């Protein structure tokens, strides 16, 4: 399968990329890792007339703590995320996620920014970033702005970026003392999308869950938070009953579509189980200091 | 339609060609450079039969445009047997019967080459995880895992002997 013809640009700097994007706003598509876009182009599901390849922008590849947050450059490879010491030591939810995205070969090309900007509810980072209460940084001709992750996903494959903006960075707040997180995913095989997956980030204080955010993967048309499940945890001391209640709430509030990965009832129940497992792991890690 | 001049190194040799922007790297390698050891399996970024090393990293060459590889150093299965002598991985696949139809083998070997470079003494579980982006429909994977274990031991022994 051969993609449709397009004009190709390979800017050497972010400014050059932004100027090309402004010039071709509406017609141009950004090529990041290409691991979703190129397959879509081969199927002719996407037929962009202009591609702006930002893989030469090595300035956008970094993972490091800055002030009160972890800064991830948009072009950071998933493999780099998986290998980053700071991610392994302090961001368990992100580390869990990075290791189950697609397959090891795809992770050598796929980027964190691309995964998020694609705004596919079947991708793994959206749920994780929702659970982290991350912030997206976008740059356009008018300068830089930040977008709260809760405002970022506006529809199926649609995000809050305007046509002339590029996602440049993702910021994850540093987890406070007593925090823990986990990502649990059920997939038919490596490389397939999740049947369902749950991202949980929470904080314990004095034996009670004082903060909890939960994101769900591939069980809604738009990447979603499981707010009813979060409410089941808020202020409670962790117990089997509390965790079960949160799992049931998530199963009720998600909105999966039936497909070859299973019918709606099955996906709801898998969601219940994924949420429960992520909460239990997150609590164990919060107690263990990670 | 846009044409671009691409210069890259493939198996140690520098080549320059004019390519259409939409040409996938795998088509460039097979059709423009006539290196047909790199296979096209699924065409859907699933199977890994088209795996090549781009600047040392294994990637699916069906999911990258040739024009993106401008300036890159690429290694394909044709470059693995240095001086005509089988690489320990190739020897391992031979000795342990790591292939039946052989279609996935070039991709498996390219992935395993990077994997062993980063993890010279892997557990069986780590090997299975490492090759999880490469599909084989014949072997059931056990013989492939054994082949990679064979290569790991041989590479370790060679490194220790120097």
Q: How far apart are CA A217 and CA A33, in angstroms?
A: 21
Q: What is the pLDDT of residues A99-129, one digit of tens each?
A: 999 999 999 999 999 999 999 999 999 999 9
Q: Are A179 and A282 in contact (CB under 8 A)?
A: no
pLDDT of B161 reads 58
Q: List, in order, residues 6 or more apart from A223 with CB less than 8 Å away.
A: A119, A121, A123, A126, A127, A130, A153, A215, A216, A217
Chain B: give the shortest CA distance to residue A120, in Å: 17
Domain boundary among A173, A195, A230: A173
Residues A47 and A81 in one domain: no
Residues B88 and B68 in one domain: no
Residues B16 and B47 in one domain: yes
Q: How many domains does chain A have?
A: 3
Answer whether residue A53 shows pLDDT above 60.
yes
Shortest CA distance to B113 belongs to which of B79, B157, B139?
Answer: B79
Nearest CA in chain B to A99: B129
Task: Give a yes or no: residue A1 inside a domain.
Answer: no
Q: Which domain holds residue B40?
A: 3-79
Q: What percent of chain A has pLDDT over 90?
A: 98
> What six digits make up the tokens of A109?
């090309």
Task: Answer whether B64 sits within 8 Å of A104, measured CB to CB.
Answer: no
Q: Are A137 and A144 in contact (CB under 8 A)?
A: yes
The contact set of B with A (CB < 8 A) is: 1-2, 4, 20-22, 24, 27, 43-46, 48, 51, 57-60, 62-65, 67-68, 70, 111, 129-134
Residues A107 and A142 in one domain: yes
pLDDT of B159 reads 87
Shortest CA distance to A120 belongs to which of A138, A147, A102, A144?
Answer: A102
Q: Which domain holds residue A166?
A: 60-173
The beta-carbon neighbor of B45 closest among A55, A79, A106 is A106
Residues B75 and B108 in one domain: no
Q: Are B150 and B95 in contact (CB under 8 A)?
A: yes
Q: Suggest the residue from A5, A105, A107 to mutate for an interface test with chain B (most B CBs closer than 10 A).
A: A105
pTM recorded for the entire structure: 0.96
Report the CATH number at residue B134.
1.10.150.120
Domain boundary among B54, B79, B104: B79
Under the banding of pLDDT at 50, 70 and 90, the label for residue A26 is confident
Give the mean pLDDT of A65-78: 98
Answer whether residue A1 shows pLDDT above 90.
no
N-term to C-term CA, chain B:
53
Under the banding of pLDDT at 50, 70 and 90, the label for residue A289 is low
Residues B74 and B122 in one domain: no
Q: What is the pLDDT of residues A226-251, one digit of tens each?
A: 999 999 999 999 999 999 999 999 99
Under the banding of pLDDT at 50, 70 and 90, the label for residue A158 is very high
Report the CATH number at residue B45.
3.10.20.30
Report the CATH number at residue A75.
3.30.465.10
Q: How many domains does chain B have?
A: 2
Answer whether residue A15 shows pLDDT above 70.
yes
Q: What is the pLDDT of residues B109-142, one digit of tens each?
A: 999 999 999 999 999 999 999 999 999 999 999 9
Question: Between B105-118 and B142-161, two packed helices, what is the crossing angle to 10 degrees?
Answer: 40
Chain A: give the shortest CA distance to residue B12, in Å: 22
Q: How far apart are CA B113 and CA A34, in angstroms?
A: 24
pLDDT of B2 reads 83
Q: How far apart are CA B132 and CA B127, in angstroms?
A: 8
**Please, what is the average pLDDT of chain A?**
97
In this predicted complex, what is the ipTM?
A: 0.96
Domain boundary among B55, B79, B103: B79
> Tens place of pLDDT for every residue, chain B, 162 residues?
589 999 999 999 999 999 999 999 999 999 999 999 999 999 899 999 999 999 999 999 999 999 999 999 999 999 999 888 999 999 999 999 999 999 999 999 999 999 999 999 999 999 999 999 999 999 999 999 999 999 999 999 988 855
């Amino acid at each position: 399968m051969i993609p449709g013809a397009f004009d190709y640009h390979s800017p050497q700097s972010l400014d050059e990329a932004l100027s090309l994007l402004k010039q071709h706003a509406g017609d141009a598509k950004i090529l990041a890792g290409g691991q979703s876009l190129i397959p879509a182009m081969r199927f002719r599901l996407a037929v962009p007339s202009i591609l702006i390849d930002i893989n030469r922008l090595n300035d956008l590849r970094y993972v490091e703590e800055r002030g009160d947050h972890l800064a991830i450059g948009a072009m950071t490879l998933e493999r780099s995320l998986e290998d980053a010491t700071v991610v392994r030591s302090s961001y368990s939810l992100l580390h869990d996620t990075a290791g189950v995205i697609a397959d090891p070969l795809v992770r050598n090309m796929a980027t964190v920014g691309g995964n998020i900007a694609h705004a596919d509810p079947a991708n793994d980072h959206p749920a994780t970033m929702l659970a982290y209460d991350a912030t997206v940084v976008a740059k356009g001709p008018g300068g830089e702005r930040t977008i709260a992750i809760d405002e970022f996903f506006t529809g199926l494959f649609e995000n809050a970026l305007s046509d002339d903006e590029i996602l440049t960075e993702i910021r994850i707040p540093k987890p406070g003392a007593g925090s823990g997180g986990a990502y649990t995913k059920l997939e038919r095989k490596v490389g397939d999308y999740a049947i369902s997956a749950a991202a949980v980030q929470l904080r314990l204080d004095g034996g009670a869950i004082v903060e909890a955010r939960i994101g769900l993967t591939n069980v809604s048309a738009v990447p979603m938070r499981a707010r009813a499940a979060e409410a089941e945890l808020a202020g409670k001391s962790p117990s089997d009953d509390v965790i079960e209640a949160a799992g049931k709430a998530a199963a009720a509030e998600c909105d999966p579509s039936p497909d070859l990965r299973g019918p709606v009832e099955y996906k709801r129940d898998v969601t219940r189980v994924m949420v429960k497992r992520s909460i239990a792991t997150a609590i164990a890690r919060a107690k263990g200091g990670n | 339609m846009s044409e671009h001049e691409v210069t890259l190194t493939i198996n140690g040799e520098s080549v320059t060609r004019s390519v259409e922007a939409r040409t996938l790297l795998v088509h460039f390698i097979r059709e423009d450079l006539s290196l047909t050891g790199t296979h096209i399996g699924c065409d859907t970024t699933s199977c890994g039969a088209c795996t090549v090393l781009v600047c040392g990293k294994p990637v699916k060459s069906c999911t990258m445009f040739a024009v993106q590889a401008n300036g890159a150093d690429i290694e394909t299965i044709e470059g693995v047997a240095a001086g005509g002598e089988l690489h320990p991985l190739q020897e391992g696949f031979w000795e342990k019967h790591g292939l039946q139809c052989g279609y996935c083998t070039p991709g498996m070997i390219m992935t395993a080459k990077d994997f062993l470079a980063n993890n010279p003494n892997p557990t069986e579980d780590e090997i299975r995880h490492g090759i999880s982006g490469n599909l084989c429909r014949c072997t059931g994977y056990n013989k492939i895992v054994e082949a990679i274990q064979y290569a790991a031991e041989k590479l370790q022994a060679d490194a220790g002997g120097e």
